[in-house]
Amino acid sequence: MPWRRFLKWFTGIFGRRKSFRLGIYGLPNTGKTSIANRICLEWCGQELGAVSELPHETRVVQRMREVKIRVGGKQFTIDLVDVPGVSYKKDLVETHYATFLAHMSESEAKKRVSEAIAGVKEAVKSLDHVDAALVVMDATQNPYNPVNSVIIGALESRDIPIIVVANKTDIKGASPSVIKEVYSDYPVVEMSCIRDKTFEPLYKAIAKHHKK
C-alpha cells in the first residue's frame, strides 16, 4: 500500500541523510505557492513566489534550498520545489484563457496561456528531480478531478512518497473529509494556509518518521 511505502521511505531516508527535495504539486489555485511562502517565510525569512487569484500565476519551477525545519525536537532540511499548477491543455486554451481575457489584453492573455503550457511541461519534468511530494487540493472542490489522479499516478509510477494536503478548510462548504476518504491510502493533512497560525501538523506529517 502507498501508506506503508510512505512510512518505509521516510524512516529510511531520514536514517541516511538530513535533507531531501520536497515538491509541491496540484491544480492551479489550490494554494501551493501560498503554502511554500509560509514555510519559507517562517524558516528562511523570505517568501518564494507571487500569488494571485488568477490561475497559473506560478509558471516556472521555484526553489528554496536548505530550508531547515524544526518540530517536536527534530530538525530536518528540505529543498523546497514549488511547481506550476497542472492543467490539461484544453482547459488552458478554453476555460483559463477566457479568465485571462477578463483581466488583461488579448495579446497578454495569449502569452499567459503559452507560458502556462510551458509551465505544465516543466512541472512534469520536475517529477524526476524530487524525493517526496505534497499534493495540494482545494477542500471546497471535488477531489475526483482527473488531474489529481494524473498527478498521483505520475508520482506513484516513480515511487515518490506523497502527503495529500486538504487546503482552504476555512472556506464555507469545505469538505476535507471527502479528500480523506478518496485518498485514504495516503497521509492527509487538513489545513488553512490563510487561517492557521502554525503549520505544525504539516511539519509533523513530514517529520513523523525522522530518525535522530
Q: Distance (Å, rounded) from C-alpha 61 to C-alpha 22?
A: 12
* Residue 165, pLDDT score: 97
Whether residue 63 is contained in a domain is answered as yes
Tens digits of residue pLDDT in 105-129: 999 999 999 999 999 999 999 999 9
pLDDT (tens digit, 9 = 90+) per residue, 36-86? 999 999 999 999 998 988 888 898 999 999 999 998 888 889 999 999 999
Mean of the per-residue pLDDT values of the chain: 89
Structural domain containing residue 13: 2-207
- Residue 7 has what pLDDT? 53
| 64 in any annotated domain | yes
> 189 or 208, which is more confident?
189
pTM: 0.88
Q: Convert the pLDDT of each residue in 167-195 to its tens digit.
A: 999 999 999 999 999 999 999 999 999 99
- The CATH number linked to 155 is 3.40.50.300
User: Count of domains in the chain?
Assistant: 1
pLDDT of 206 reads 84
Question: Domain for residue 157, yes or no?
Answer: yes
In a domain, 168, yes or no: yes
pLDDT score for 202: 95
Do the domain assignments include residue 212? no
> Residue 85 corresponds to which cell in the numbers above?
499548477
Residue 173 included in any domain? yes
Is 154 buried (19+), middle (13-18) or exposed (0-12) by CB count in 10 A?
Answer: middle
Q: Measure the CA–CA gap between 174 and 192, rounded to whole angstroms.
A: 10
